[in-house]
A and B are shown apart, each in its own frame.
Chain A
Amino acid sequence: MVHERLFLFLRTSFRIKIDQLILNQQLIYLFYSLLSFLKTSIHYIHLVYYVQTYIFIYKINSYSFWIAESLFLLWNCLNDPLFGWFSDRYISSISHRLDYLTKCGFLFCLSSLLFWYPFVEINSSLLGLQLVLSLCLYDTFLTMIDLNYSSLLIDISDHKRETLSSASAIGNALGKYEIILFVLWENFVWLKVHYH
């Protein structure tokens, strides 16, 4: 009788543990997808709008723009292998990578705001300096996020790599539709202002 109760207790608690483990693994897929979603939603809006903002709204002169873009090109060539080497050499465990993702994700979002708030007056020749600073900072944090995010796939998946990869692709695809959300929101506010 006691044995049966003990067996029942063990089986029940074991099953709960297994259920929790499965639930948490599914949460890992969801979180992995959400990370991709957040990164893409910020990056895609930046990618689509920053050139138009600098040219049509801030009225940066073409000479400053091309110098800034060339300097960024050089930094982009350097920082990818540099941070890849740094990541391989100094970051090894999952928790270490996740800590880096926390810090770099936060700073990545902050650096993305630099594009939309000019430090100097519109039409100023110093806008080129702001552009190169913003681009380099933004790209540095983006590289750090990409490196740690891609390495996390290998670290957290043993035999379900394709599921994690699909989760990442879904998050990536959904993140690109943030722009449509902006368009809908803009139209909604415009209608509200003009019909009230």
Chain B
Amino acid sequence: MGEFRLVEGSLPLIISYLFWTSTDFRLFRIFITILTLIAMCGFVFITQAMKKISCCYNIK
């Protein structure tokens, strides 16, 4: 469980701090904007699909 916690939480954080370079902020901004747009569409699509499934089959 401890190993899983490390993989789940702390390891990506450590890796990100090791690799962080503030030299190209423009590139980071493009990446984050694309990711945000994908997440935005994903939220709408997934929640509406879940709503349709739960309505059709009355999943409880």
Interface residues, chain A, with chain B CB atoms under 8 Å away:
20-21, 24-25, 27-28, 31-32, 34-35, 38, 41-42, 44-45, 48-49, 52-53, 56-57, 94-95, 98-99, 101-102, 105-106, 108-110, 112-113, 116-117, 155-156, 158, 169, 172-173, 176-180, 182-183, 185-186, 189-190
Measured between beta carbons, the chain A residues less than 8 angstroms from B59 are 24-25, 28, 156
Residues of A within 8 A of B29 (CB): 116-117
> Roughly how many angstroms separate A109 CA and B40 CA in the complex, as a whole number?
6
User: B54 contacts which of A28, A44, A57, A110 (Cβ < 8 Å)?
Assistant: A28
A interface, over-half SS: helix
How far is B8's CA from A181's CA once the two chains are assembled, in angstroms?
A: 15
Q: Is the CB of B43 within 8 A of A186?
A: no
A112 touches B25 (CB 8 A): no
Measured between beta carbons, the chain A residues less than 8 angstroms from B49 are 27, 31
- Central interface residue in B50, B54, B55, by most chain A CB within 10 Å: B50
Chain A residue at minimum C-beta to C-beta distance from B29: A116
Assess whether A183 is in contact with B27, with CB atoms less than 8 Å apart: no
Could you write out 5 A-B pairs with CB less than 8 Å apart?
A: A28-B50, A31-B50, A180-B15, A182-B31, A186-B28
Which one, B19, B32, B54, contacts A156 given CB within 8 A? B54
A27/B12 in contact, CB under 8 A: no
Residue from B28, B31, B46, B56 having most chain A Cβ neighbours under 10 A? B46
Contact present for B43 and A105 (CB under 8 Å) = yes
Q: A31-B53, A38-B46, A173-B4 are in contact. List 19 more A-B contacts (CB 8 A).
A: A32-B50, A35-B46, A38-B42, A41-B35, A49-B28, A95-B55, A98-B51, A98-B54, A99-B51, A105-B43, A109-B36, A109-B37, A116-B28, A116-B33, A156-B59, A177-B12, A180-B12, A180-B16, A183-B16
A151 CA / B22 CA spacing, docked (Å): 39
Indicate if the CB atoms of B8 and A94 lie closer than 8 Å.
no
Min Cβ gap B24→A in Å is 7
B4 contacts across to A, CB distance below 8 A: 173
7 closest Cβ contacts across the A-B interface? A105-B43, A109-B40, A98-B51, A179-B16, A102-B47, A176-B12, A173-B8
Give the shortest distance, in Å, between B6 (CB) and chain A (any CB): 11
